[in-house]
Chain A
Amino acid sequence: MSDIPTILYVDDDDNDVMLLKHALRCAKLLFDVQVVNDPEAASAYLNGQGIYANRELHPMPRLVLLDLKMPRMHGLEVLLWIRNQPRFAQLVVIVLTASNHIPEINRAYELGANSYLIKPVELGELVGIVRGMSAYWLAVREKPAAKIS
């Protein structure tokens, strides 16, 4: 198993995926970012089913970044599913979405989200967000080389 922490990013928007990866690069953070584009794929990945059966290629993530508004299934349903699986109890789930709708934020926390982040328009802000997120949630597993200077 690699020492690089794995992040599972669940989002249907390729632009946002690209931008996040760019932001991680900008922040000089070394992560294995695994991306799935819909909730079904997310559960398959976490369960290690189908194409995700090989854990060498698709390691168990330390952290899940979860978009909310996705086709066919809402992100909160994924969150609910994760929180109902005792084996994922340690899994950090962070909501990363465009919506700042208060009821949605409250609901996410009620269902057990570790954090709720709003996708910023400014790229710079996104860099700041991933830095903070990494420092807070993944610091323990970070490699010395990947440490923020």
Chain B
Amino acid sequence: MTLPRFPSGSSTDLIRAHRNENRRWPVSDERVLVLTAAKEEADFFRAALAERGLKFFACAGMEDLCRGIKEGAGMAIVAAESLADSCGELLATVLAEQSSWSDFPLVVLADGGEEQETVWSRWEELGPVGNVRILARPMRAPIAMGVVQAALQSRRRQYEVRDQLLEQERHEKAAREAEERLRLTFESAKDYAILSLDLQGRVTTWSAGAEQIFGYSEQEILGREVAVLFTPEDRKAGVPEKEMGRAAKAGVAEDDRWHLCKDGRRFFASGMMRPILDGPEKVCGFTKVARDITWRKQAKENLEKERNFSNAAINSLPGIFYVLDEQGRMLRWNENLERVSGYSALEIAGMHPLDFVIEEHRPLIGQKITEVFRSGEVMVEADLRCKNGSRIPYLFTGKRFATEETPWLVGMGMDIKAQKKVERELRKLHALAERRVAELDAVIESMPDAVYIGTEKGITKCNANALKMLGVASLEDLNARIGESGVKFAVRWLNGQPLKTEEFQFVRALHGELTIEDIIVRKADTGEDVYLRAASAPVMQGGRIVGVVAINSDMTERMKAKEAQANLAAIVEFSTDAIIGKNLEGIITSWNVSAERIFGYRAEEVIGHPIEILLPPDRLSEEADIMARLRRGERTEHFESVRVAKGGRNIQVSLTISPIKNASGNIIGVSKIARDITEHKQAEESIKAARDQISRHALELEKRVTERTASLRQSVQSLEGVLYHVAHDLRAPLRAMQGFTTILLNEYAPKLDEKGEDYAQRVSTSASRMDTLIQDLLRYGRLAHTPLSLVAVNLNQELEVVQGRLAEKIRNKGAVISVESPLPEVWADPVVLDEILSNLLKNALTFVAPGVQPKIHIRAEPAGPGLVRIWMEDNGVGIGAEHHERIFRVFERLQIEDVYTGTGIGLALVRKGMERMGGRSGVESKAGEGSRFWLELPTMQRMNE
């Protein structure tokens, strides 16, 4: 059995626990040891004990019995015989040695009478060993068992004592240990002063800690009144007594106050006084435990101060202030938060940060809070939601800071309502400014003049007219030309003198000058000169020049107009005709030199006077007629009349009268040009006579021409008749010759011999050939005489038509014809041109050396103004230079008939046709080197001019 591990608890508990644990004794403690030599005795007890549920243990001998006693047993039954000699002594020794609580019950079996006395005497010999009974033989079970039960009962009592003793011993040990622990604690608790007092307040115990804290040694303090440890004030107020009283009454008295050390130093102690009870309700003294917490108090005070300070600080913040932890608990905030949100401190303490923002901003804020704890610092705009439901735009900040692993969020919120308003205002202002700029741009762009806006750094804005006027592509281009190296436009005064840098209107405007001047600028792109009226003005802002606005008007047209006007004025002034201006009322408004000369009046004599002074009395109505015509918009030209010069002389005049219109087309006056035709009239008479004569000659000539033409036409007609007859009548016999020889050859061949057949063949061939000749001649004749109709002909199309017609021949010859498209349109008769091109192409295909693939190239080139030369180049046999003209004559053939076929009309047709169409033709060639025939025709272009 181990000692109970009871660090605390009362001894009563301890015993109870033990009892509970050992309600029954161990079996060995109740066994009945039996030592007897008689077997029947042993059996008797065995049976009797078993019958009563008691444990029987038979011992082999005294030693065995003694061992059984030592090991534990309820009692022993020993036959008297067994106590003899040393056996009895051994038993006596064992019994003598038993524990103080034990008085082992022993029952000796003895025969009655004498033997019992022996037993007692023997027992006396053995010494003072009690608790022995004698059971007389012969035994009877009820007596024997009564004895045994009694013995066992006494043994049980002994056991109880034993257990009590054990318990007591254990308790004492625990108390000793507890006291030792307490003592150790008491001694080692250096931070605590532990002392005890008697009822009079005198110190009875003094711990090492007390010595350390108060400075008094145990010897010094023991027996002294505890009041010495209190401050004089407290002593005076009876605090020590009161404390003891409170402790006695309530069981404990808290003791937080200033105490006094031996050296007079004060310290703040936190302590507790408890009464020492000596029995219930009976106080026999006090213990006092005190701890120096001066530092803690100071720290607390500091903390308080700090807190006050920080409270003051955070409450003085203009915005709201808050500290949260990661769980979103509101740890600290300033009064502003309460004031702004309308929530009380108590409410806020139970709120989540998201409760302070409007619904729609909560996800954002939640996310931002997380972000603060993750990344450290965040700023966000959201609407604060007040208790009364109103919302205020706020800028919230959050910064993570951590104390000992615990992260906090500290942040502020600023009311940005005003700022938002300012932002809105700014946006409005900005939009307004943008609109103003756009308006300005529109104004600038819509101005007919060139507009530049700039600073000393260059032009910052200009309109399209500006770029156009200076002939530059872009603003950048313009600035690049103005650049540091000076203006790269040739800018001159009207007298041609170039402007110096400091003379530029723009530059001068930068210095505050306002200028309007005329200059000449050479355009960057075309190089032409433009006259500009350059106006520049500084842009002032707050009394400072911040830029320049320059406006250039293109004066070129006006200058030209001015020049033209000057020219016109000179023309008017120096015209040999009198040029007179008058208004609609007939008042003379202008009068040139010739008017002075012709009419004899000086300008100042007539200007302002009615025109009637120039009219002879019989022609006064003429003026009204003229005016009436003018009003109808009619001009009066070369109207011959009579006017009166100064002095009354009549002058023959030719009058041209035109209206003078203002810009809007209204007639505001009349210009009258009067030519003195007095001399002219006289000259005219003689001219008329001459003209009559000429016209008589001309009539005669015309008549003669008509006659000739008629006769010519007649001869042409008769020629046409001849041609027609030739065509029809001359060919009829040929057809017959041809037709019948063919029949002859086809159907009468068996009757003809070879020679006959050859002759017939010759007749046929000759007839064919003659037919061809006749046809060519007819074509030539017609070409020479038929009237032509010249129209625009597309040469490409025409050539395609011709090639199409000759397609078979081209294919047979394997010729390659290349045309350099596009060829121009020419002025020609399509039929004739077709004939010409056909002939040339046929020639080119025909006159090729055997075995040579004909290659023909057609191209065109300009041949002087409005003329085009069409070349047809071949790789044929060529023509010697001496033949170049001859070949264009009728029936001229160079080649022998056997080799090349042809009638000798083709090139004559070409030449004739070209001549008739007003063109020319020719050839460049050498024998054996191919020919280059050319045709020269007017192009459409020329015809259009």
Contacts and interface: CB of A to CB of B under 8 A. Distances in A.
Co-complex (A, B): yes
A122 B728 contact: no
Interface residues of A, number: 20
B727 interface: yes
A53 interface: no
Given A13-B732, A121-B771, A122-B738, A99 B727 contact: yes
B597 interface: no
Interface string A31-63: 000000000000000000000000000000000
A15 B741 CA distance: 12
A101 interface: yes
Given A15-B740, A99-B727, A121 B732 contact: no
Interface residues of B, number: 20
Contact of B742 (A69, A100, A122): A122
Interface in B712-741: 724, 727-729, 731-736, 738-740
A80 interface: no
B768 interface: yes
Contacts of B733: 15
B812 to A, nearest CB: 19
A96 to B, nearest CB: 11
Nearest to A119: B735
A5 to B, nearest CB: 24
A75 to B, nearest CB: 11
B743 interface: yes
A99 B739 contact: no
Contacts of B735: 15-16, 19, 98, 119-121
B724 A99 contact: yes
Contacts of B910: none
Contacts of A99: 724, 727-728
A32 B648 CA distance: 105
B767 interface: yes
Contacts of A68: 728
B742 A123 contact: yes
A22 interface: yes
Contact of B728 (A19, A22, A69, A126): A69
Most buried by A among B728, B739, B775: B739
A36 B778 CA distance: 29
Nearest to B734: A121
A19 B728 CA distance: 17
Contacts of B775: 100
A72 B732 CA distance: 18
B727 A98 contact: yes
A134 interface: no
Contacts of A122: 738, 742, 768
B834 to A, nearest CB: 13
A6 interface: no
A128 interface: no
A59 B731 CA distance: 32
A22 B743 CA distance: 8
A132 interface: no
Contact of A22 (B738, B739, B771, B778): B739
Given A121-B767, A121-B771, A98 B742 contact: no
A122 B775 CA distance: 14
> 7 shortest A-B CB distances, which residue pairs?
A15-B736, A123-B742, A19-B739, A121-B771, A121-B738, A69-B728, A123-B739
28 contacts: A13-B732, A15-B733, A15-B735, A15-B739, A15-B740, A16-B735, A19-B735, A19-B739, A19-B740, A22-B739, A22-B743, A68-B728, A69-B729, A98-B727, A98-B731, A99-B727, A99-B728, A101-B727, A119-B731, A120-B735, A121-B734, A121-B738, A121-B768, A122-B738, A122-B742, A122-B768, A123-B738, A124-B742
Interface of A: 13, 15-16, 18-19, 22, 68-69, 97-101, 119-124, 126
